[in-house]
Amino acid sequence: MVDRTDIDRERVRSQLMKRRGELLERESATKEARDPVELDQARLGRLSRMDALQSQALAQDVERRRKIELQRIDAALGRIEAGEYGYCLNCGEAIPIARLEFDPAVATCVDCAR
């Protein structure tokens, strides 16, 4: 695999690290919302209990997405280290620079992403 001369790896790395930092900071923000819902019927009416369960589910969904994005970013940083960044993980073709600029953590070409 040839190093891509059209990619500024240092710039991509700092973009990914910045995004990674933002995602890590966000963990504590969603932590409380994800905590188990108090199901004490005496304290919570049925409707507010449903509200609580709903917002807990939402917070869990946000957290799930956050983890997936962190994994994608870590994988992309790993590919930069390995000198494999910018090549489709599936077919090995060079990923167009516009696609990488849109999403620096993207791992596959458009054809393989379908």
Strand stretches in 42-103, DSSP E = none
Name the minimum Å distance from CB 88 to Zn ion. Answer: 3
H-only helix segments in the chain: 9-34, 46-82, 97-102, 110-113
Closer CB to Zn ion, residue 24 or residue 91?
A: 91
Name the minimum Å distance from CB 83 to Zn ion. Answer: 18
Closer CB to Zn ion, residue 52 or residue 94?
A: 94
With tokens 């917070």, the residue in question is 59
- Kindly calculate the radius of gyration of the chain based on its CA atoms and give it in whole angstroms: 20
Residue pair 14/37 in contact by the 8 Å Cβ criterion: no
Closer CB to Zn ion, residue 100 or residue 109?
A: 109
Give me the residues that bind Zn ion (CB under 5 A), please. Answer: 88, 90-91, 109, 112
> Distance between CA atoms of 5 and 102, rounded to whole angstroms?
18
Closer CB to Zn ion, residue 71 or residue 90?
A: 90
Residue pair 85/35 in contact by the 8 Å Cβ criterion: no
